[in-house]
Chains A and B, each alone.
Chain A
């Protein structure tokens, strides 16, 4: 079992540039979650999908952030334009099914630095 796969693991970019983070969930999992982790705010849920459909994007900080899930095995989180305050570790997680009972399994994260 390969687990949740995220790429890139590290990203350094300059303010104003577009950043795309990628996630491959565990095969067979139907729910996918994007989180952001910072020292100040801890772990925040940004958006989550069920069966490739976005269910709740209320955690997305602003319109500069967008997420897609074109199929069951791939999701992207895009920031355009990026700002220094977006610097954080971004995690993707997946779970087998919808509902709070199922364990979410996390990827290794993408450490984003915006200069």
Chain B
């Protein structure tokens, strides 16, 4: 059974940093692109980042480019999202997802609140 478990969310002040983690199990992690997708409270879904199988290629929308960095450790079956210079509009639940022909599997999400 595919399982994705996010951690690392919490309350952070504007301008500060936070790093999210996602532990994957139930599939060969190194064979799949992985992604982060977020959802602001009571709002829709927004793709945040994607990383290739080896980690050599990364993709971001303009809204987070230059501030967020996606990475992975295939030996640990883990995905990460380093978020710097956080803004109030980054407040959201962040989901880890397996990215192949859509976002096929999702974790339960971790809430990030950016507020002073």
Partners in one complex: no
Residues of chain A touching chain B, judged by Cβ–Cβ distance below 8 Å, are none
The interface of chain B, by Cβ under 8 A from chain A, is none
